[in-house]
Amino acid sequence: MHLFEDAQSAFSADYAQARDAFLHAASAAGARVGHYACPAPGPRGEALHTDTAWLGDPGARKVLMVLSGTHGVEGFCGSGFQVHWLRAGMHRQLAADTAVLFVHAINPYGFAWLRRVNEDNVDLNRNYLDWSRPPPENPGYAEIAHALVPSRLDGPEAAEADAVLARFRQRVGEVPFYRALASGQFIDPQGLFYGGSGPTWSNRTLHAVMREYLGQATDVTCIDFHTGLGPYGHGDLMSDHEPGTDAAQRVRQFWGDGVSEIRRGQSLPLVPDGPTHFGVTRALPHARVTFGTLEFGTYERELGRVALRADQWLHLHGDPTGPQALPIKQALRRQFYPDTADWKEAVLFRGHQLVRMALAGMQGACAQRGQPVRD
Protein backbone atom coordinates (compact mmCIF):
# COMPACT_ATOMS: atom_id res chain seq x y z
CA MET A 1 0.00 0.00 0.00
CA HIS A 2 1.34 3.44 -0.81
CA LEU A 3 0.61 6.83 0.64
CA PHE A 4 -1.99 7.94 -1.90
CA GLU A 5 -3.41 4.59 -2.93
CA ASP A 6 -6.88 6.09 -3.39
CA ALA A 7 -5.53 9.02 -5.41
CA GLN A 8 -7.43 8.08 -8.56
CA SER A 9 -10.86 8.11 -6.94
CA ALA A 10 -10.65 11.71 -5.70
CA PHE A 11 -10.22 13.00 -9.28
CA SER A 12 -13.22 13.23 -11.55
CA ALA A 13 -13.87 12.66 -15.24
CA ASP A 14 -15.97 15.80 -15.76
CA TYR A 15 -17.40 18.84 -13.98
CA ALA A 16 -20.67 17.15 -12.93
CA GLN A 17 -18.84 14.24 -11.32
CA ALA A 18 -16.42 16.63 -9.61
CA ARG A 19 -19.25 18.69 -8.18
CA ASP A 20 -21.00 15.58 -6.94
CA ALA A 21 -17.84 14.23 -5.30
CA PHE A 22 -17.13 17.59 -3.68
CA LEU A 23 -20.63 18.04 -2.27
CA HIS A 24 -20.74 14.47 -0.96
CA ALA A 25 -17.32 14.73 0.69
CA ALA A 26 -18.21 18.15 2.14
CA SER A 27 -21.47 17.02 3.66
CA ALA A 28 -19.89 13.80 5.01
CA ALA A 29 -17.30 16.01 6.71
CA GLY A 30 -20.04 18.13 8.28
CA ALA A 31 -19.17 21.26 6.32
CA ARG A 32 -21.31 24.35 6.06
CA VAL A 33 -22.03 24.32 2.33
CA GLY A 34 -22.97 27.15 -0.06
CA HIS A 35 -24.10 27.20 -3.71
CA TYR A 36 -23.80 29.97 -6.30
CA ALA A 37 -25.68 29.43 -9.57
CA CYS A 38 -23.79 30.37 -12.74
CA PRO A 39 -25.88 32.25 -15.34
CA ALA A 40 -24.52 30.13 -18.22
CA PRO A 41 -25.46 26.46 -18.80
CA GLY A 42 -23.14 23.52 -19.42
CA PRO A 43 -22.70 21.74 -22.79
CA ARG A 44 -25.82 19.59 -22.22
CA GLY A 45 -27.87 22.54 -21.03
CA GLU A 46 -27.32 21.60 -17.40
CA ALA A 47 -27.10 24.12 -14.53
CA LEU A 48 -23.62 25.00 -13.29
CA HIS A 49 -22.55 26.13 -9.84
CA THR A 50 -19.67 27.33 -7.77
CA ASP A 51 -19.89 25.58 -4.39
CA THR A 52 -18.27 26.34 -1.06
CA ALA A 53 -17.52 24.27 2.02
CA TRP A 54 -16.53 25.71 5.39
CA LEU A 55 -14.79 23.34 7.82
CA GLY A 56 -13.84 24.13 11.38
CA ASP A 57 -14.73 26.84 13.91
CA PRO A 58 -17.82 28.72 12.57
CA GLY A 59 -16.47 32.07 13.79
CA ALA A 60 -12.79 31.39 13.06
CA ARG A 61 -10.54 34.40 12.58
CA LYS A 62 -7.80 32.34 10.91
CA VAL A 63 -9.05 31.04 7.58
CA LEU A 64 -7.33 29.11 4.80
CA MET A 65 -9.24 29.58 1.52
CA VAL A 66 -8.47 27.07 -1.26
CA LEU A 67 -9.74 27.78 -4.80
CA SER A 68 -10.17 25.36 -7.69
CA GLY A 69 -11.02 25.97 -11.33
CA THR A 70 -10.06 29.64 -11.78
CA HIS A 71 -9.07 28.50 -15.26
CA GLY A 72 -12.02 26.19 -15.84
CA VAL A 73 -10.43 23.06 -17.29
CA GLU A 74 -7.64 23.28 -14.67
CA GLY A 75 -10.34 22.53 -12.09
CA PHE A 76 -9.82 18.75 -12.30
CA CYS A 77 -6.61 19.26 -10.33
CA GLY A 78 -7.82 21.51 -7.50
CA SER A 79 -11.12 19.68 -7.22
CA GLY A 80 -9.31 16.34 -6.86
CA PHE A 81 -7.20 17.78 -4.06
CA GLN A 82 -10.18 19.31 -2.26
CA VAL A 83 -12.10 16.03 -2.40
CA HIS A 84 -9.09 14.05 -1.22
CA TRP A 85 -8.48 16.42 1.72
CA LEU A 86 -12.12 16.15 2.80
CA ARG A 87 -12.28 12.37 2.46
CA ALA A 88 -9.03 12.02 4.42
CA GLY A 89 -10.74 13.77 7.34
CA MET A 90 -8.08 16.48 7.57
CA HIS A 91 -10.67 18.91 8.97
CA ARG A 92 -10.57 16.96 12.24
CA GLN A 93 -7.04 18.26 12.83
CA LEU A 94 -7.89 21.96 12.56
CA ALA A 95 -6.79 24.11 15.51
CA ALA A 96 -9.15 26.30 17.52
CA ASP A 97 -10.16 29.59 15.91
CA THR A 98 -9.14 28.14 12.52
CA ALA A 99 -11.20 27.14 9.49
CA VAL A 100 -10.73 25.96 5.92
CA LEU A 101 -12.92 27.45 3.18
CA PHE A 102 -12.97 25.47 -0.05
CA VAL A 103 -14.27 27.25 -3.14
CA HIS A 104 -15.02 24.58 -5.74
CA ALA A 105 -15.09 25.48 -9.46
CA ILE A 106 -14.99 29.27 -9.25
CA ASN A 107 -15.27 29.20 -13.07
CA PRO A 108 -17.77 26.33 -13.50
CA TYR A 109 -18.46 27.20 -17.15
CA GLY A 110 -14.82 26.72 -18.14
CA PHE A 111 -14.65 23.50 -16.12
CA ALA A 112 -17.79 22.03 -17.72
CA TRP A 113 -16.94 23.15 -21.28
CA LEU A 114 -13.24 22.25 -20.92
CA ARG A 115 -12.11 25.83 -21.48
CA ARG A 116 -9.61 28.09 -19.77
CA VAL A 117 -11.96 31.07 -20.04
CA ASN A 118 -15.43 31.75 -18.65
CA GLU A 119 -18.81 32.24 -20.34
CA ASP A 120 -17.71 35.71 -21.57
CA ASN A 121 -14.41 34.48 -23.08
CA VAL A 122 -12.73 36.13 -20.10
CA ASP A 123 -9.57 34.82 -18.48
CA LEU A 124 -10.65 35.10 -14.84
CA ASN A 125 -7.04 35.34 -13.69
CA ARG A 126 -6.75 38.62 -15.62
CA ASN A 127 -10.14 39.96 -14.43
CA TYR A 128 -9.57 40.80 -10.75
CA LEU A 129 -8.42 44.31 -11.62
CA ASP A 130 -9.06 47.52 -9.81
CA TRP A 131 -11.74 48.46 -12.36
CA SER A 132 -11.79 52.11 -11.19
CA ARG A 133 -8.53 52.48 -13.12
CA PRO A 134 -7.74 51.86 -16.78
CA PRO A 135 -6.68 48.24 -17.46
CA PRO A 136 -2.98 47.58 -18.12
CA GLU A 137 -1.76 47.95 -21.69
CA ASN A 138 -0.18 45.16 -23.69
CA PRO A 139 1.19 46.60 -26.95
CA GLY A 140 2.81 43.29 -27.93
CA TYR A 141 -0.58 41.58 -28.05
CA ALA A 142 -1.97 44.26 -30.35
CA GLU A 143 0.87 43.55 -32.76
CA ILE A 144 0.14 39.82 -33.04
CA ALA A 145 -3.61 39.71 -32.27
CA HIS A 146 -4.62 39.13 -35.92
CA ALA A 147 -2.34 36.08 -36.17
CA LEU A 148 -3.24 34.30 -32.93
CA VAL A 149 -6.46 32.59 -33.99
CA PRO A 150 -6.73 32.12 -37.79
CA SER A 151 -10.16 31.34 -39.23
CA ARG A 152 -8.81 27.93 -40.35
CA LEU A 153 -6.35 25.78 -38.42
CA ASP A 154 -4.63 24.55 -41.59
CA GLY A 155 -3.97 25.80 -45.13
CA PRO A 156 -2.34 29.04 -46.35
CA GLU A 157 -4.03 31.36 -43.85
CA ALA A 158 -2.85 29.29 -40.89
CA ALA A 159 0.67 29.10 -42.38
CA GLU A 160 0.76 32.89 -42.80
CA ALA A 161 -0.43 33.39 -39.20
CA ASP A 162 2.29 31.00 -37.97
CA ALA A 163 4.87 32.95 -39.96
CA VAL A 164 3.75 36.25 -38.39
CA LEU A 165 4.10 34.76 -34.91
CA ALA A 166 7.47 33.18 -35.71
CA ARG A 167 8.86 36.51 -36.98
CA PHE A 168 7.58 38.38 -33.89
CA ARG A 169 8.94 35.69 -31.60
CA GLN A 170 12.35 35.76 -33.21
CA ARG A 171 12.49 39.55 -33.08
CA VAL A 172 11.46 40.03 -29.42
CA GLY A 173 12.61 36.74 -27.80
CA GLU A 174 10.84 34.00 -25.83
CA VAL A 175 9.95 35.87 -22.66
CA PRO A 176 8.53 38.99 -24.33
CA PHE A 177 6.65 36.69 -26.73
CA TYR A 178 4.88 34.88 -23.90
CA ARG A 179 4.33 38.16 -22.07
CA ALA A 180 2.65 39.64 -25.15
CA LEU A 181 0.60 36.49 -25.66
CA ALA A 182 -0.41 35.61 -22.12
CA SER A 183 -0.08 38.51 -19.68
CA GLY A 184 -3.61 39.65 -20.50
CA GLN A 185 -5.24 42.01 -23.00
CA PHE A 186 -8.27 44.30 -22.90
CA ILE A 187 -8.67 45.19 -26.56
CA ASP A 188 -10.00 42.02 -28.21
CA PRO A 189 -13.08 40.42 -26.57
CA GLN A 190 -12.81 37.43 -28.92
CA GLY A 191 -9.08 36.97 -28.48
CA LEU A 192 -6.91 34.91 -26.15
CA PHE A 193 -6.18 35.91 -22.53
CA TYR A 194 -8.90 38.57 -22.63
CA GLY A 195 -9.31 40.25 -19.23
CA GLY A 196 -12.88 41.51 -19.75
CA SER A 197 -14.53 44.93 -19.50
CA GLY A 198 -15.66 44.69 -15.88
CA PRO A 199 -15.97 42.16 -13.04
CA THR A 200 -17.33 38.86 -14.41
CA TRP A 201 -19.82 36.56 -12.67
CA SER A 202 -17.01 34.45 -11.19
CA ASN A 203 -15.22 37.55 -9.91
CA ARG A 204 -18.43 38.87 -8.32
CA THR A 205 -19.12 35.41 -6.90
CA LEU A 206 -15.73 35.20 -5.22
CA HIS A 207 -16.39 38.63 -3.70
CA ALA A 208 -19.79 37.41 -2.47
CA VAL A 209 -18.10 34.35 -0.93
CA MET A 210 -15.56 36.55 0.84
CA ARG A 211 -18.32 38.87 2.14
CA GLU A 212 -20.31 35.88 3.35
CA TYR A 213 -17.47 34.02 5.08
CA LEU A 214 -14.49 36.29 5.74
CA GLY A 215 -15.97 39.41 7.37
CA GLN A 216 -14.74 38.33 10.81
CA ALA A 217 -11.39 36.95 9.62
CA THR A 218 -8.21 38.73 10.64
CA ASP A 219 -5.77 36.24 9.13
CA VAL A 220 -6.54 34.83 5.66
CA THR A 221 -4.27 32.56 3.68
CA CYS A 222 -5.30 31.64 0.15
CA ILE A 223 -4.06 28.97 -2.26
CA ASP A 224 -5.34 29.16 -5.85
CA PHE A 225 -4.79 25.89 -7.76
CA HIS A 226 -3.64 26.07 -11.39
CA THR A 227 -2.05 23.77 -13.95
CA GLY A 228 -0.09 24.03 -17.20
CA LEU A 229 3.15 25.81 -16.31
CA GLY A 230 6.42 24.21 -15.27
CA PRO A 231 7.86 20.69 -15.18
CA TYR A 232 5.43 17.76 -15.20
CA GLY A 233 4.01 17.11 -11.73
CA HIS A 234 6.00 19.87 -10.06
CA GLY A 235 3.88 22.14 -7.85
CA ASP A 236 5.33 25.66 -7.92
CA LEU A 237 3.96 27.95 -5.19
CA MET A 238 4.19 31.45 -6.65
CA SER A 239 3.81 34.69 -4.76
CA ASP A 240 2.67 38.03 -6.18
CA HIS A 241 3.42 39.90 -2.94
CA GLU A 242 5.88 42.78 -3.29
CA PRO A 243 9.39 41.72 -2.23
CA GLY A 244 10.37 43.16 1.13
CA THR A 245 6.82 43.41 2.50
CA ASP A 246 5.54 41.59 5.59
CA ALA A 247 3.38 39.47 3.31
CA ALA A 248 6.36 38.39 1.19
CA GLN A 249 8.23 37.46 4.36
CA ARG A 250 5.21 35.51 5.59
CA VAL A 251 5.05 33.55 2.35
CA ARG A 252 8.61 32.33 3.06
CA GLN A 253 7.83 31.72 6.71
CA PHE A 254 4.81 29.61 5.77
CA TRP A 255 6.10 27.83 2.69
CA GLY A 256 9.89 28.06 2.83
CA ASP A 257 12.52 28.47 0.16
CA GLY A 258 10.54 26.63 -2.51
CA VAL A 259 8.40 29.72 -3.18
CA SER A 260 8.83 31.57 -6.49
CA GLU A 261 8.50 35.32 -6.15
CA ILE A 262 6.91 36.64 -9.31
CA ARG A 263 7.87 40.27 -8.60
CA ARG A 264 11.50 39.21 -8.46
CA GLY A 265 11.15 37.74 -11.94
CA GLN A 266 11.39 34.17 -10.66
CA SER A 267 8.31 33.15 -12.61
CA LEU A 268 6.79 34.14 -15.94
CA PRO A 269 4.86 35.63 -17.60
CA LEU A 270 4.69 38.78 -15.54
CA VAL A 271 1.06 39.86 -15.20
CA PRO A 272 0.84 43.43 -13.88
CA ASP A 273 -2.63 43.13 -12.32
CA GLY A 274 -5.72 40.94 -12.58
CA PRO A 275 -4.79 37.57 -11.01
CA THR A 276 -6.89 36.31 -8.08
CA HIS A 277 -4.12 37.48 -5.72
CA PHE A 278 -5.04 41.11 -6.37
CA GLY A 279 -8.82 40.64 -6.04
CA VAL A 280 -8.45 38.81 -2.71
CA THR A 281 -5.90 41.18 -1.19
CA ARG A 282 -7.95 44.25 -2.20
CA ALA A 283 -11.19 42.75 -0.86
CA LEU A 284 -9.85 42.01 2.63
CA PRO A 285 -8.25 45.20 3.96
CA HIS A 286 -9.29 44.18 7.49
CA ALA A 287 -7.26 40.96 7.37
CA ARG A 288 -3.64 39.90 7.09
CA VAL A 289 -3.61 38.20 3.69
CA THR A 290 -1.01 35.64 2.59
CA PHE A 291 -1.58 34.46 -0.98
CA GLY A 292 -0.02 31.69 -3.03
CA THR A 293 -0.76 30.70 -6.62
CA LEU A 294 -0.05 26.99 -6.92
CA GLU A 295 0.89 25.96 -10.44
CA PHE A 296 1.31 22.30 -11.35
CA GLY A 297 3.41 21.58 -14.41
CA THR A 298 2.03 19.35 -17.17
CA TYR A 299 3.42 19.20 -20.70
CA GLU A 300 5.53 21.72 -22.57
CA ARG A 301 4.21 25.25 -22.81
CA GLU A 302 4.17 25.38 -26.60
CA LEU A 303 1.66 22.51 -26.66
CA GLY A 304 -0.51 24.62 -24.36
CA ARG A 305 -0.43 27.52 -26.76
CA VAL A 306 -1.43 25.28 -29.65
CA ALA A 307 -4.24 23.65 -27.62
CA LEU A 308 -5.63 27.02 -26.50
CA ARG A 309 -5.52 28.34 -30.06
CA ALA A 310 -7.46 25.33 -31.36
CA ASP A 311 -10.06 25.70 -28.61
CA GLN A 312 -10.45 29.41 -29.35
CA TRP A 313 -10.88 28.59 -33.02
CA LEU A 314 -13.51 25.95 -32.15
CA HIS A 315 -15.62 28.40 -30.16
CA LEU A 316 -15.20 31.25 -32.68
CA HIS A 317 -15.42 29.44 -36.02
CA GLY A 318 -16.42 25.83 -35.32
CA ASP A 319 -19.08 23.89 -33.41
CA PRO A 320 -18.07 23.23 -29.78
CA THR A 321 -20.67 20.48 -29.49
CA GLY A 322 -20.01 18.89 -32.91
CA PRO A 323 -17.66 16.04 -33.91
CA GLN A 324 -14.71 18.37 -34.60
CA ALA A 325 -14.75 19.32 -30.90
CA LEU A 326 -13.64 15.93 -29.61
CA PRO A 327 -9.92 15.90 -30.56
CA ILE A 328 -9.56 19.60 -29.68
CA LYS A 329 -11.15 19.15 -26.25
CA GLN A 330 -9.15 15.98 -25.61
CA ALA A 331 -5.87 17.76 -26.36
CA LEU A 332 -6.80 20.73 -24.17
CA ARG A 333 -7.92 18.53 -21.30
CA ARG A 334 -4.73 16.48 -21.44
CA GLN A 335 -2.62 19.65 -21.48
CA PHE A 336 -4.22 20.99 -18.28
CA TYR A 337 -5.07 17.67 -16.65
CA PRO A 338 -2.70 14.77 -17.28
CA ASP A 339 -5.06 11.97 -16.32
CA THR A 340 -2.28 9.76 -14.94
CA ALA A 341 -1.72 8.19 -11.52
CA ASP A 342 1.75 9.63 -10.95
CA TRP A 343 0.67 13.19 -11.78
CA LYS A 344 -2.33 12.99 -9.45
CA GLU A 345 -0.17 11.54 -6.69
CA ALA A 346 2.25 14.47 -7.09
CA VAL A 347 -0.67 16.93 -6.90
CA LEU A 348 -1.94 15.35 -3.71
CA PHE A 349 1.48 15.19 -2.07
CA ARG A 350 2.28 18.84 -2.78
CA GLY A 351 -1.28 20.02 -2.08
CA HIS A 352 -1.38 18.39 1.35
CA GLN A 353 2.12 19.67 2.10
CA LEU A 354 1.31 23.30 1.28
CA VAL A 355 -2.07 23.24 3.04
CA ARG A 356 -0.49 21.74 6.15
CA MET A 357 2.30 24.35 6.05
CA ALA A 358 -0.21 27.19 5.63
CA LEU A 359 -2.27 26.00 8.59
CA ALA A 360 0.88 25.59 10.70
CA GLY A 361 2.13 29.01 9.56
CA MET A 362 -1.08 30.67 10.73
CA GLN A 363 -0.42 29.10 14.16
CA GLY A 364 3.04 30.69 14.16
CA ALA A 365 5.15 27.85 12.82
CA CYS A 366 8.14 28.52 10.61
CA ALA A 367 8.61 26.34 7.52
CA GLN A 368 12.39 26.21 7.73
CA ARG A 369 12.36 24.83 11.25
CA GLY A 370 9.28 22.65 10.98
CA GLN A 371 8.13 23.72 14.41
CA PRO A 372 6.48 26.70 16.14
CA VAL A 373 8.57 29.83 16.49
CA ARG A 374 9.22 30.41 20.17
CA ASP A 375 11.46 33.47 20.21
DSSP-derived 3-state class of residue 231: strand
Binding characters for Zn ion, 104-133, by CB under 5 A (x = yes): ------------------------------
Q: What does the chain come to in residues?
A: 375
The Cα–Cα gap between 170 and 165 comes to 8
Q: Which CB, 258 or 269, lies closer to Zn ion?
A: 269
Contact yes or no for 32/58 (Cβ under 8 A): yes
The residue within the footprint of Zn ion, chosen from 19, 62, 71, 250 (CB under 5 A), is: 71
28: left (phi over 0), alpha (psi -120 to 50) or beta: alpha
**By rule CB under 5 A, what count of residues binds Zn ion?**
3
The Cα–Cα gap between 237 and 225 comes to 9
Binding characters for Zn ion, 269-288, by CB under 5 A (x = yes): --------------------
Shortest Cβ 135–Zn ion spacing (Å):
19
Residue type, 254: F
Q: Which CB, 83 or 124, lies closer to Zn ion?
A: 124
Shortest Cβ 65–Zn ion spacing (Å):
17
Within a 13 Å sphere around the CA of 219, how many CA atoms are in the beta-carbon half?
16
Residue 241, beta-bridge partner list: none
DSSP-derived 3-state class of residue 234: coil
Q: Which CB, 266 or 321, lies closer to Zn ion?
A: 266
DSSP-derived 3-state class of residue 168: helix
Shortest Cβ 293–Zn ion spacing (Å):
8
Using the contact rule CB under 5 A, the part of the chain among 50-58, 134-142, 181-189, 222-230 near Zn ion is: 222-230
Q: Which CB, 62 or 115, lies closer to Zn ion?
A: 115
Using the contact rule CB under 5 A, the part of the chain among 39-47, 50-58, 72-80, 182-190 near Zn ion is: 72-80
Shortest Cβ 324–Zn ion spacing (Å):
25
Shortest Cβ 27–Zn ion spacing (Å):
28
Shortest Cβ 110–Zn ion spacing (Å):
10
Determine phi and psi for 172, rounding to 5 degrees. -95, -25
Q: Using CA atoms in the order 190, 192, 197, 203, what is the torsion angle rounded to 10 degrees?
A: 120
Using the contact rule CB under 5 A, the part of the chain among 26-34, 106-114, 219-227, 240-248 near Zn ion is: 219-227
Using the contact rule CB under 5 A, the part of the chain among 61-69, 189-197, 223-231, 303-311 near Zn ion is: 223-231
Q: Which residue lies nearest Zn ion, judged by its C-beta?
A: 226
Q: Which CB, 124 or 367, lies closer to Zn ion?
A: 124
Shortest Cβ 125–Zn ion spacing (Å):
6
The Cα–Cα gap between 325 and 292 comes to 34
Q: Which of 58, 59, 40 is nearest to 49 (CA)?
A: 40
Task: Report the b/e string of 361-373 with b at 16+ CB within 10 A.
Answer: bbeebbbeeeeee
- Alpha-carbon dihedral sign for residues 346, 347, 349, 353: positive
Asked if residue 226 binds Zn ion (CB under 5 A), the reply is yes
Measured between alpha carbons, how far apart are the two ends of the chain, in Å? Answer: 41
Q: Which CB, 106 or 147, lies closer to Zn ion?
A: 106
Determine phi and psi for 330, rounding to 5 degrees. -65, -45
Q: Which CB, 54 or 337, lies closer to Zn ion?
A: 337
Q: What angle do CA 56, 75, 242 make, to 5 degrees?
A: 75
Q: Which CB, 98 or 312, lies closer to Zn ion?
A: 312
The Cα–Cα gap between 119 and 186 comes to 16
Shortest Cβ 262–Zn ion spacing (Å):
14
Using the contact rule CB under 5 A, the part of the chain among 70-78, 142-150, 252-260, 299-307 near Zn ion is: 70-78
Looking at residues 306 to 345 of the shown chain, list those that interact with Zn ion (rule: CB under 5 A). none
Using the contact rule CB under 5 A, the part of the chain among 155-163, 224-232, 269-277, 299-307 near Zn ion is: 224-232
Residues forming contacts to Zn ion in the complex (CB under 5 A) are 71, 74, 226
